[in-house]
Amino acid sequence: MLRKRDNTTSTTNNDHQQIDTLIGAHSVITGELSFEGAVRIDGQFEGNIHSSKGGTLIVSEGAKISGEVNVPSLVLHGIIEGNVRASDSLQLGETGCLNGDLEYSVMSLAEGSAINGRCSRIADKVTDTHKATPAVSKETTPVAKHSSNLKEI
């Protein structure tokens, strides 16, 4: 009897997102990669990777990227040698290792993951424009200059 094959299991990650491009485990690619959608790297990539329209980069365990990575979402189980900017989210699995500086918005780290570099959080645009400023009172409250309970250091 014939059945319709379910292709979702072979082309998805753990979040059930469809993988648009797969770089296989025995592949070594050198160059620049710009993409939309989801890309999974199982092999080696030497060069810069960029995505601006909701792209997700998945780096599998055993995979290695040597270059700059600038993507909205990154799931890292392999190794990246270079600076990373994950403008939406970063998930580091227990085998994930980043050797470079990181800019992130939201980050999730599994026990055993490693970041060898500087980390800086990308400030939310809404937060920056609507930062709470402390209220300044025009009235002054007298403050005791000396108290018997306080010691000067």
Give tens-digit pLDDT for 13-69: 444 568 999 999 999 999 999 999 999 999 999 999 999 888 999 999 999 999 999
Give tens-digit pLDDT for 78-122: 999 999 999 999 999 999 999 999 999 999 999 999 999 999 999
**136 part of a folded domain:** no
Strand partners, 39: 21, 57
Question: Are 84 and 67 spatial neighbours (Cβ–Cβ below 8 Å)?
Answer: no
- How many domains does one find in the chain? 1
Lookup: tokens for 72:
């909205």
* Predicted structure pTM score: 0.72
Helix, coil or strand: residue 147: coil
**12 part of a folded domain:** no
Question: Are 53 and 69 spatial neighbours (Cβ–Cβ below 8 Å)?
Answer: no
**9 part of a folded domain:** no
Tell me the residue range of the domain where 89 lies: 21-125
Using alpha carbons, list the distances in angstroms from residue 18 to 23, 38, 39, 72, 149: 14, 7, 9, 16, 66
